[in-house]
Amino acid sequence: MLLYNISYRNNLLFRETQMADSPKTKRRNDALLKSVGENIRHYRTLKGLSLRKLSILTDIEYSQIHKYEAGTVDTNITMLSILALHLDIETFELLIVKKKQTVKD
């Protein structure tokens, strides 16, 4: 089975084909998942909610929210919008990737 990978390079659209079992077919972005999880935790603690309380408010399992925060599982836009609603933020705020600051000597 062939998969199509669509990307932009120099403002041009490219479509690459590759075999489905190829190691390049990894679609999971671990850095983004980690960042989303950090954002969920940040806004949850800012609002003063425990994992259990957020679980009750959102009707999302406690363990699932914990996995989102840890960046170990992928989520979808529906879950992000439910979390954002109860955290009193816009959904896009959970997707913001903060650049790490480095200390200069």
Q: Give the Cα separation of 69 and 71 in Å (integer).
A: 5
- Please state the domain extents for the chain: 30-95
Give 56 or 99, the one with higher predicted confidence: 56
- Residue 80 DSSP SS3: helix
pLDDT tens string 80-104: 999 999 999 999 999 998 876 444 5
What pLDDT is stored for residue 17 in this prediction?
45
pLDDT tens string 63-74: 999 999 999 999
**pLDDT of 4 higher than 70:** no
Q: Are 74 and 84 in contact (CB under 8 A)?
A: no
The CATH number corresponding to 30-95 among 2.70.150.10, 1.10.260.40, 3.50.50.60, 3.40.50.720 equals 1.10.260.40
What pLDDT is stored for residue 28 in this prediction?
80
